[in-house]
Amino acid sequence: MTFRTLDQAQLAAKRALVRVDFNVPVKDGEVADDARLRCALPTINALRRAGAKTILISHFGRPKGKPIASMSLRPVTAPLAKLLGAPVAFAEDCVGPTAKTAVDAMKPGEVLLLENLRFHPGEEANDPNFARALAANGDLYIDDAFSAAHRAHASTVGVARLLPAFAGEDMRRELQALRAALDHPAHPVLGIVGGSKVSTKLDMLHNLILKLDRLAIGGGMANTFLFSQGWPVGASICEKDMADAARDIMAFADKHNCELLLPVDVVVAERAAPGAKARVCALGRLDDGERILDAGPETLQRLIAAIDEAKTLIWNGPLGVFEVPPFDKATVAAARRAAERVKAGKLVAVAGGGDTDAALRAAGVAGDFTFVSTAGGAFLQWMEGKTLPGVAALDNQLERKGR
């Protein structure tokens, strides 16, 4: 796949229509977590330095094609302006006369945020007329929202077919990191996949097994694998109806020479609550009312040994109930060991999806990994080996005619 980047664009005085992901948590009218705003800063600052007119477009929430005051993007403007150290204007609509008037008033170097794309049904329907209305406000299109790239919407696919299209800085970093980890990795390659359900990660597991040398299974989904082997799991989260699928995955891994690392001991308690009485338990020794809530110390040591031997690590999902100490120990210890290896120049570690970012931040090492994706569904679909519409829309831009 080829795609154009900002250094290949003529930006001075151009209207740059930038797809960002500002679907951030808002509490009492204020942004509670500005991580996604920070991800957009390299692209916005590059455009400002080049003298472009930066026009930001994003979705927020699920208003289902109608304006809803509580889902306005207006609360984003103040924290974004603070991060940029520059004013951020706001338009009450993303298309039509209101948007056009705001865009026409811009000067080179200025930043404008348009209202929620999903206030219009044409966004999620990838309606050509809505895409043309969006494109009317830009001279070029920049996609900096990998986290929305799995959606074939007007702002991720439609506009990219109407304007000269480029990958923003965060999109470029994301694609380069994922390619390095999945397409051309240094071996041995270790995967860590956690989370609660096997059923939601079947495609991912099959795709990863084809690329990995070792795959460690953790979290609630490990219980399903243990159950499929005949181990009792007490009151633990377990998809017992997925036992056959778990056995199929184990056979698939064996066929493709991917070593599966399953728990050999576990940490159990009757409830996942702070201060709950917990104990280390060998497989098969937990009581009926106990729940498996973390990997045990022997399992952790096996995983750390695998991290030490790996040159590439791909991580998705925690190893236990990391939000509730002491059931965060395995996730934190493994994350910190991986971070140490990255800082020593001995490991490329890429992580993302679901609770992974939160788990690594809780461990204090998110900034030490080679790359941590803030994307959810898009990261997971990439891990499943699927083509992302928003990424495909940027493909082979140099060879396309009529741009």
3-state DSSP: the chain helix, strand, coil percent, rounded to 5?
Answer: 40, 15, 40
Who contacts 86 (Cβ-Cβ below 8 Å, separation ≥6)? Answer: 48, 111
* Residue 394: half-sphere exposure toward Cβ, Cα within 13 Å: 29
Of the candidates 14, 36, 291, 329, the residue annotated as catalytic is 36
* 354 a catalytic residue: yes
| pLDDT 10s digits, 100-139 | 999 999 999 999 999 999 999 999 999 999 999 999 999 9
| Torsion sign (Cα): 389, 63, 99, 28 | negative
Token look-up 């299974």 returns: 217
Mean pLDDT computed over 74-81: 97
- Sort 32 into a burial class: Cβ within 10 Å, 0-12 / 13-18 / 19+: exposed
Q: Decide the pairing of beta strands 265-269 and 291-295.
A: antiparallel
Of the candidates 74, 173, 179, 197, the residue annotated as catalytic is 197
Structure tokens at 220: 């609630």
* 386 a catalytic residue: no
Give bridge partners of residue 350 from the DSSP assignment: 314, 371
Structure tokens at 389: 């519409």
Q: Is 65 left (phi over 0), alpha (psi -120 to 50) or beta?
A: left
What's the one-letter identity of residue 186?
Answer: A
* 401 a catalytic residue: no
Token look-up 């809530």 returns: 293
**Residue closest to 140 by CA, chosen among 55, 37, 34:** 55
Full set of structural domains in the chain with CATH = 6-170 (3.40.50.1260), 177-383 (3.40.50.1260)
Residue 400 has pLDDT above 50, yes or no: no
* Residue 399: half-sphere exposure toward Cβ, Cα within 13 Å: 6
Of the candidates 168, 218, 234, 354, the residue annotated as catalytic is 354
Full-model pTM: 0.86
Give bridge partners of residue 167 from the DSSP assignment: 5, 143
| pLDDT 10s digits, 309-342 | 999 999 999 999 999 999 999 999 999 999 999 9
| pLDDT 10s digits, 223-244 | 999 999 999 999 999 999 999 9
Q: From CA 100, how far away is CA 97, in angstroms rounded?
A: 5
Mean pLDDT (the chain) is: 93
